[in-house]
A and B are shown apart, each in its own frame.
Chain A
Amino acid sequence: MSRYITLRLAKGILTFFIAVTITFLIVRLMPGDPTTALISDSLSPEDALVLKESFGLDKPLYQQYFLFIRNLLKGDLGYSFFYKDSVASIIGNKLWWTLLLMGSSLFVTLLIGIPLGVISAKHQGKLLDQAINVAVVIGVSIFVPLLAFLLLYSFSFRLMWTPIGGAYSPGIDSSQMFGSVVSHMILPCATLVITYLASTVLYMRNSMLDVLKEDYVRTAKAKGVNDRKVTWSHALRNALIPTVTVTGLMIGKMVAGAVLTETVFSWPGVGTMIYDAVQKQDFPLLQGAFLVLAASVVVMTLITDLVVAWLDPRIKL
């Protein structure tokens, strides 16, 4: 493996390890008895004792830590009070919906944002610049639940163009599933795209402007390569590198957007589950949700790192 991948992988593992350690410490060093957070009052004393032993809550802290990590490696994230089921299997069913929503939103954002960024770099002008800047300020100021609600209210409630919530209509067979999911995903996806699009356009535009000043762009033009080809093939590839890097950093924030969006549209992912878990005070589920989302972000960041490496000829894979 090349040095680049090894380093990135090591950083990813370290990040997840730190997330795990923070989680472990928060739950145990909280004022009061950690058993109240990990074990519900509604459990019978016998069950509570079994759970207590499985967490190792009677042992010293460092032994609990090793136990915690060993359980994690086995895929054991604890037991949910409310669903009376293992946290791992509950989240396992929800995670794909969240990843589907985030993945599609990211894809659409880049699909629209990159060409828009390139076009706006080619057509510099005061009005366009101002429009982008205003859009960026609005984009970073969006309160996601409001945007989600406005979309839901106008398109589902008033116009009735899109379904009102959930991820698919109940009682349909597998052949209609795809279309149903797509129609349910339009609004949640649009919420996230609107929130993150302006920043993507701005990054793409700025890095394109930098690249267009480079010598090799001038050389290509001097050699007689037509302007369109220089822009869309020579310059674009290099301008994508910083944009993809920044996109990777955006993923952690996007999780927050996805969590909030899901709650408004009752999207059956981790976000809606978190909302329910807060209402039910289901701490093991909240802990599991954070760990799984942290792991997902680490993996997605690694993927963007690989994309950067593929785009950047200076990095050998």
Chain B
Amino acid sequence: MREKTFLESFSRHRLGVIGCVGVALILLAGVVGPFFVPFQKGYGEAMPLAGPSAENFLGTDALGLDLFSEIIWGARTSILISASAVLVAMFIGIPLGLVSGYSRGKIGALIDSAIEITMTIPTLPLMILISALVGPSVRTVAVVIGVFAWPTLARIVRNSTLKVSQMQYIEAAKVLGISKGSIMFKHILLNIAGPVLVDITLIMATAVLTESSLSYLGLGDPNVWSWGGILQTAFKAGHHFRAWWLVIFPAASIMLYVIFFNLLGIGINETLNPKSRK
């Protein structure tokens, strides 16, 4: 019997498909949406703090601006920041994980300790300190999140590398005299792409939680709309008890983003390793 392709198996994973569709919708909203929705500045013409209505169907904020377009632009910010954070995390985590898993020995032990120590340090207060010092901007937040998101990725790359590097084809590559770098970054990396992809989707999810937390604390870029920033404004002005829409819609956007990316990650993971599905 023909073996099922990845897509065929994935399409049977109900939660994974829900996640995939959700992620696609969020990407659509954040990447394409802003071309159709105006970027708002200053004061709006609508009635301030008005609940959902026909014109502003998610309501308006304290400045009379339309919440729906703020949320669409917030999606763009979240995607931009989490994707950049993932790139930063990959840039640090993948080489460190590969080297740690492939060379083992002293360098491996050193990288392992670095992973463990970075995971122990309470990173949110540190990210708060850095963002406050550098001054909040999309770039700062993305880099800061990525710089502290690498340990989980490095650990997964390391563990997968440990497994793969005992395979015969790696032995064969060594015998053939292929360079260490080429074995690690070509032969091993391609074979651990699955777990790396899973962790990337999970980092996308946690990055948005962190980004929202930072902007909720008042460390978001003041020049862009962000879901956490909308919450920050509402809480700071004390509107959160009167205007529920200013809390529920941005917070729901954050949680849907996180849940969809997590489900996508779980779907990919369980399709790749059917055994982990217990």
Contact = CB atoms under 8 A, between A and B. Distances in A.
User: Do A and B make up one complex?
Assistant: yes
Given A255-B125, A256-B123, A263 B217 contact: yes
B1 interface: no
B7 to A, nearest CB: 23
A255 B116 CA distance: 17
B226 interface: no
Contacts of A167: none
Given A143-B254, A143-B258, A260-B213, A14 B117 contact: yes
A278 B132 contact: yes
Interface string A6-42: 0000010011001100110011001100000100000
Nearest to A263: B217
Max chain A Cβ within 10 angstroms of own Cβ: one of B123, B129, B210, B266: B129
B119 interface: yes
B241 to A, nearest CB: 6
B218 A143 contact: no
A69 B123 CA distance: 21
B13 interface: no
B130 interface: yes
A278 B125 contact: no
B197 interface: no
B77 interface: no
A157 B262 contact: no
Contact of B216 (A19, A138, A260): A260
Given A138-B259, A141-B255, A286-B128, A252 B218 contact: no
Nearest to B241: A157
- The dominant DSSP class at the B interface is helix
Contacts of B133: 26-27, 30, 37, 283
A180 interface: no
Given A141-B259, A297-B122, A15 B117 contact: yes
A145 B235 CA distance: 10
Interface in A120-166: 129, 137-138, 140-146, 149, 153, 157
B278 interface: yes
A234 B207 CA distance: 41
Contacts of A238: none
B219 interface: yes
A275 interface: yes
B134 interface: yes
A279 B121 contact: no
Interface residues of A, number: 50
A236 interface: no
Contacts of B266: 137
A291 to B, nearest CB: 9
B254 to A, nearest CB: 5
B212 interface: yes
A301 interface: yes
A143 B217 contact: no
Contact of A275 (B116, B130, B218): B218
B213 A256 contact: yes
Contact of A252 (B121, B128, B231, B240): B121
Max chain A Cβ within 10 angstroms of own Cβ: one of B117, B121, B263: B121
A190 interface: no
Given A146-B247, A274-B125, A281 B117 contact: no
A90 interface: no
A144 B216 CA distance: 11
A277 B130 CA distance: 13
A290 interface: yes
A279 B128 CA distance: 12
Nearest to A291: B125
Nearest to A254: B122
B109 interface: no
B121 A144 contact: no
Contact of A137 (B119, B126, B262): B262
The 5 closest A-B pairs by CB, nearest first: A256-B124, A146-B251, A255-B122, A141-B258, A290-B125
Interface of A: 11, 14-15, 18-19, 22-23, 26-27, 30-31, 37, 129, 137-138, 140-146, 149, 153, 157, 249, 252-253, 255-256, 259-260, 263-264, 274-275, 277-279, 281, 283, 286-287, 289-290, 293-294, 297-298, 301
Given A26-B129, A141-B255, A289-B129, 12 more contacts: A11-B113, A140-B205, A141-B209, A145-B213, A146-B247, A249-B119, A249-B120, A252-B120, A283-B132, A289-B125, A290-B125, A294-B122
Interface of B: 113, 116-117, 119-126, 128-130, 132-134, 205, 209-210, 212-213, 216-219, 231, 235, 240-241, 244, 247, 251-252, 254-255, 258-259, 262-263, 266, 278
23 contacts: A14-B113, A15-B120, A19-B121, A19-B126, A26-B133, A30-B133, A37-B133, A141-B205, A143-B212, A144-B213, A145-B235, A149-B247, A157-B241, A249-B119, A252-B120, A252-B122, A256-B213, A274-B125, A275-B218, A278-B128, A283-B132, A294-B122, A294-B125
